[in-house]
Amino acid sequence: MNEQTRNALLAMQRGEITEYHIYNALADREPNLHNAKVLRTIASDELRHYTTLESVTGTPVKPRRFRVQLLALCAWLFGVTFTLRLMEAGESKAQSSYRSLAPEVSEVAHLDTEEEEHEQTLISLYDDERLTYISSVVLGLNDALVELTGAIAGFTLALREPRLIALVSLVTGISAALSMAASEYLSTKEEQDTQKNPIKASVYTGIAYLGAVFLLVLPFLLLTNTALAVIWTLVNALLIIAVFTFYNSVCRNTSFKRSYLEMAAISMGVALVSFLIGIVVRNVLGVDV
């Protein structure tokens, strides 16, 4: 066995023992007993793969603890389904790695088939309530980011006082969140071919909206410099868009870049227009707060 092959096997060996710990961590967080059992079965397979590779390399390796903790955190924040989507890419990579090494290392010849079975098993487990209601979350976030970012930009020029801007923005945002939640409840209730519960759909929409409101208004509560508060708010808006777009792109297998640029352009565009409107209104009405 040459050095390049040995290094490749050691890397795969470390990947297997890392995934053994990850799948066990996901099983601990999985409320569905059947799914938890399936995840522990996959974990056992990964441990067996590790043992097989160790018999070939003759060298024990430790798992990547940071990756284990990171994906456990992802499961806590975004759900097991999101994390499984991330794991699926690793299973596909493992398949191709085993396939390329099979002619040289006979002991790993059957492992690519098992990794493919893992991938198909993971796909069958994709069932998360958060995915069912993701359209409701999209509605809440989109409206909050577009409407409130624009409103804050307009208020900034019209009012200029951070605490006053925060007060008006909070009243506007909370009222809009309640309105959006009520609208989502009524629209979901009228849909005939949906599995969504109208109350849950409205709650997801309202919480998403309120969460965005809090993060967008927070700079005006903490800072006394209006210009810095506006910049911080816009940065928060871009970060919210980035996090949610990444979550959605992983779960829905869509393009992150395209979705992010589209949503960011709309939010920032509305903010710019609202900012200009604030200037016009201030000059036309002659208001000086």
12 vs 157, more confident: 12
Q: In angstroms, rounded to a whole number, what is the distance separating the alpha carbons of residues 218 and 196? A: 32
Give yes or no for residue 173 having a pLDDT over 80: yes
Q: What pLDDT sits at residue 129?
A: 56
> What is the tens place of the pLDDT at every residue in 237-282?
888 888 888 877 777 777 788 888 888 888 788 777 777 776 676 6
Query: Sign of the C-alpha dihedral, residues 168, 172, 174, 175?
Result: positive
Q: Packing angle between helix 80-101 and helix 65-78, nearest 10 degrees? A: 140
Q: What pLDDT sits at residue 71?
A: 87
> What is the tens place of the pLDDT at every residue in 213-229?
999 999 999 988 988 98
Closest CA relative to residue 236, chosen from 211, 203, 205, 256: 211
Q: What pLDDT sits at residue 155?
A: 79
Q: What pLDDT sits at residue 289?
A: 52
Q: What pLDDT sits at residue 130?
A: 58
Q: What pLDDT sits at residue 21?
A: 92
Segment 45-61 shows an average pLDDT of 87
Q: In angstroms, rounded to a whole number, what is the distance separating the alpha carbons of residues 225 and 206? A: 30
Give yes or no for residue 171 having a pLDDT over 80: yes
> What is the tens place of the pLDDT at every residue in 105-122?
766 666 766 666 766 666
Helix (H, G, I), strand (E, B) or coil at 190: helix
Q: How much is the mean pLDDT over the chain?
A: 79
Q: What pLDDT sits at residue 205?
A: 85
